[in-house]
């Protein structure tokens, strides 16, 4: 794992942090989501029971220009491997302004998994005589 270090003989796991930067204005809908695809036991790095994990996630959306403004800040809990939540959505206009909108009910990863499974499983075509 690339998120650990050993200090004084003790293994320390570092928090994961992801930063997304948009340069310029690209109009459209933006949906922010979190997804727990795997969890390891912090004491030894091995597998954990994938249920009732209680992984805390802190999410923020910060607008930098023309001044720094936190637009969204909230804490979430992911409870099992595969847990996914669409947490925030916005529509960006061509002038760079945005309007907060309700995120989709179906998590964005569901669409990915459905598309992947459709590619893997060929469908039979039955034609009538």
Domain that holds residue 55: 18-119
Considering the domain boundaries, does residue 53 fall inside one? Answer: yes
Tell me, what's the pLDDT at 123?
Answer: 47
Considering the domain boundaries, does residue 58 fall inside one? Answer: yes
CA–CA gap between residue 107 and residue 87 (Å, rounded): 9
Whether residue 29 has pLDDT greater than 70: yes
Tell me, what's the pLDDT at 36?
Answer: 85
Considering the domain boundaries, does residue 2 fall inside one? Answer: no
Q: Any idea what DSSP says for residue 104?
A: P
Tell me, what's the pLDDT at 100?
Answer: 92
Q: Quick: pLDDT tens for 70-125.
A: 989 999 999 888 888 899 999 999 988 889 999 888 877 776 666 665 555 544 44
Tell whether pTM > 0.95.
no
CA–CA gap between residue 107 and residue 85 (Å, rounded): 6
Considering the domain boundaries, does residue 69 fall inside one? Answer: yes
Q: Averaged over 17-36, what is the pLDDT?
A: 85
Whether residue 12 has pLDDT greater than 60: yes
Considering the domain boundaries, does residue 1 fall inside one? Answer: no
Write the CB contacts of 81 (distance below 8 Å, at least 6 apart in sequence).
36, 37, 38, 39, 50, 53
Considering the domain boundaries, does residue 7 fall inside one? Answer: no
In Å, what is the CA distance from 100 to each residue of 62, 88, 92, 124? 13, 8, 9, 43
Considering the domain boundaries, does residue 111 fall inside one? Answer: yes
Whether residue 128 has pLDDT greater than 60: no
Considering the domain boundaries, does residue 12 fall inside one? Answer: no
Structurally, the chain folds into a number of domains equal to 1
Q: Quick: pLDDT tens for 54-78.
A: 888 899 988 888 889 898 999 999 9
């Amino acid at each position: 794992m690339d998120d650990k270090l050993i200090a004084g003989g003790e293994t320390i796991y570092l928090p994961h942090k992801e930063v997304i930067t948009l340069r310029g204005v690209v109009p459209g809908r933006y949906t922010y989501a979190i997804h727990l695809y795997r969890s390891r036991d912090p004491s030894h790095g091995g597998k954990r029971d994938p249920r009732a994990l209680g992984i805390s996630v802190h999410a923020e959306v910060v607008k930098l220009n023309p001044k720094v403004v936190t637009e969204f800040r909230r804490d979430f809990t992911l409870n099992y491997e595969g847990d996914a939540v669409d947490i925030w959505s916005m529509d960006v206009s061509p002038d760079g302004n945005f309007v907060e909108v309700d995120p989709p009910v179906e998590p964005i990863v569901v669409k990915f998994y459905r598309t992947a499974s459709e590619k893997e499983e060929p469908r039979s075509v039955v034609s009538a005589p």
